[in-house]
Amino acid sequence: MSRSSTPIRRYNVSMDSNIDIIMSARMLIEQHGDKAVEIAAQGEYEMLERGDEKGAAIWKRIFDAVTDDVENAVLRA
């Protein structure tokens, strides 16, 4: 995905609480469906590219939450 087409900049990733991470993951899933995993991974990558380790760590937590939510949905189906 090219930088110009990424939706990463729309999301505020300055949160640290678990509830913020879970809410962000659910919002990504609701808004982007199957692409939520890719978007979360891209968020982590872009933060690393910028040298923002804290931002990358937050996006990693969001990625993990999105992945868990998607896996649980598959198991429930």
DSSP collapsed to 3 states, 15-28: CCCHHHHHHHHHHH
Which of 47, 37, 63 lies closest to 14 in space, CA to CA? 47
Average pLDDT, integer, range 60-71: 88
- The per-residue pLDDT for 57 is 94
The answer on pLDDT for 61 being more than 90 is yes
Return the domain boundaries, the chain: 15-76
- The per-residue pLDDT for 8 is 52
Q: How many residues are present in the chain?
A: 77
- The per-residue pLDDT for 51 is 97
Average pLDDT, integer, range 7-27: 73
pLDDT range class, residue 73, cuts 50, 70, 90 = low
- The per-residue pLDDT for 26 is 92
